[in-house]
């Protein structure tokens, strides 16, 4: 049995999402460490909300990183084995890098807080948008985006599973692309309740800020392979890891290929390590031959015993 861990990102957050882990000392310690680094009570936000504050990008990103790392540490604390390979969906990649000891947890927290702030400031409120397109071939969707752009930015940015792709860009262009996608046969085209158009060219100013921050951080060679979203490849050199993180901000999340690569590299079990089970559903559709587990509570640890 070869086990790969994947870490969820923004979109998996909910008030009370860590309640099942509340009695585990290492979980509370992880949240206390995050609270100290960030200067805010992260456990209170996760436990009590309000949801609007939890959903704010500048809070969601460090909170989800903390939750992912806390669940991973809880797994190790009860004697769980280190996975053979790790990956993370968008923001979740930072948790994968902490698990692989590429980044310290404290450095990763500061980095994702800066990342979130840079993303929020890169595009004024109301200018950008994202939408989920269901039931359309990737090539047809790309053509719809090209046709809808009309001098603005709109492109596929999250290849989540076959027939489930997210697009992002200028709001008007995204809306045009949604209409074209439906005209070309999409089952649904749904605008998402987000203000930041992630993983498209509008994020290049944020990527520059992230690159500057990364240049001052200690980046270590990974203790286990980390499969990166942007190129579906592993990297050992700190400079290459930094480049992958910078480019991830304005290039698509290739999740379908990422999960396929985990399976091709021998992963027979793929574990979603963090709150929720959004990735579980996607992963089952991508790599049906693998066994899939979500650590939604400590009782799930026994599934890998």
In sequence order, the 6+-apart residues with CB closer than 8 A to the CB of 59 are 40, 45, 53, 116
Question: Following DSSP, what letter does each residue of 170-200 receive, concatenated?
Answer: EHHHHHHHHHHHHHTT-SEEEE-S-SS-TTS
Decide: 112 and 88 in contact? Cβ < 8 Å: no
Q: What is the pTM of this model?
A: 0.97
Cα separation of the two ends of the chain: 11
Determine the Cα–Cα distance for residues 64 and 279; give it in Å rounded to an integer.
Answer: 14
Query: Which positions are catalytic?
Result: 90, 199
Please report the pLDDT score of residue 305 as a whole number: 67
Residues β-bridged to residue 129? 169
pLDDT per position in the chain (305 positions), as tens? 799 999 999 989 999 999 999 999 999 999 999 999 999 999 999 999 999 999 999 999 999 999 999 999 999 999 999 999 999 999 999 999 999 999 999 999 999 999 999 999 999 989 999 999 999 999 999 999 999 999 999 999 999 999 999 999 999 999 999 999 999 999 999 999 887 999 999 999 999 999 999 999 999 999 999 999 999 999 999 999 999 999 999 999 999 999 999 999 999 999 999 999 999 999 999 999 999 999 999 999 998 86
The helix-helix angle for 105-122 and 204-214 (nearest 10°) equals 160
Largest CA distance in the chain: 55
Decide: 178 and 120 in contact? Cβ < 8 Å: no
Please report the pLDDT score of residue 125 as a whole number: 87
Decide: 278 and 255 in contact? Cβ < 8 Å: no
Three-point CA angle 67, 71, 77, nearest 5°: 140
Q: Which two tokens stand for residue 102?
A: 């590429």
Question: Following DSSP, what letter does each residue of 196-229 receive, concatenated?
Answer: S-TTSGGGHHHHHHHHHHHTTS--PPPSS-EE-T
In sequence order, the 6+-apart residues with CB closer than 8 A to the CB of 196 are 57, 119, 120, 122, 123, 128
With b meaning 16 or more CB within 10 Å and e meaning fewer, what string describes 273-293? bbbbbbbbebbeebbeebebb
| Cis amide prior to 266 (ω within 30 degrees) | no
Please report the pLDDT score of residue 304 as a whole number: 86
């Amino acid at each position: 049995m070869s086990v790969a861990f994947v870490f969820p990102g923004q979109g998996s957050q909910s008030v009370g999402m860590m309640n099942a882990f509340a009695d585990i000392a290492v979980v509370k310690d992880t949240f206390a460490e995050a609270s100290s680094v960030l200067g805010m009570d992260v456990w209170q936000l996760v436990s009590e909300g309000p949801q609007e504050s939890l959903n704010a990008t500048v809070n969601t990103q460090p909170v989800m990183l903390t939750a992912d790392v806390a669940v991973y540490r809880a797994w190790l604390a009860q004697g769980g084995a280190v996975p053979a390979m790790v990956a993370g969906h968008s923001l979740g990649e930072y948790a994968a890098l902490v698990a692989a000891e590429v980044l310290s947890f404290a450095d990763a927290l500061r980095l994702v807080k800066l990342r979130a702030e840079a993303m929020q400031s890169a595009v004024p409120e109301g200018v950008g948008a994202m939408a989920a397109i269901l039931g359309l071939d990737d090539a047809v969707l790309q053509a719809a985006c090209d046709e809808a752009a009309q001098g603005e930015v709109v492109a596929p940015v999250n290849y989540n599973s076959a027939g489930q792709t997210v697009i992002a860009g200028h709001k008007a262009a995204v809306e045009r692309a949604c209409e074209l996608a439906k005209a070309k046969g999409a089952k649904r085209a749904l605008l998402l309740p987000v203000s930041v158009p992630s993983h498209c060219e509008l994020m290049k100013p944020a990527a520059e800020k992230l690159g500057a921050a990364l240049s001052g951080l200690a980046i270590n060679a990974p203790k286990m392979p980390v499969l990166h979203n942007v190129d579906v490849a592993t990297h050992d050199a700190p400079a290459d890891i930094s480049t992958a993180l910078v480019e991830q901000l304005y290039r698509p999340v290739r999740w379908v290929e990422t999960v396929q690569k985990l399976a091709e590299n021998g992963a027979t079990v793929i574990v979603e390590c963090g709150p929720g089970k959004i990735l579980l559903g996607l992963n089952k559709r991508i790599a049906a031959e693998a066994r899939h587990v979500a650590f939604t509570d400590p009782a799930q640890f026994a599934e890998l015993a």
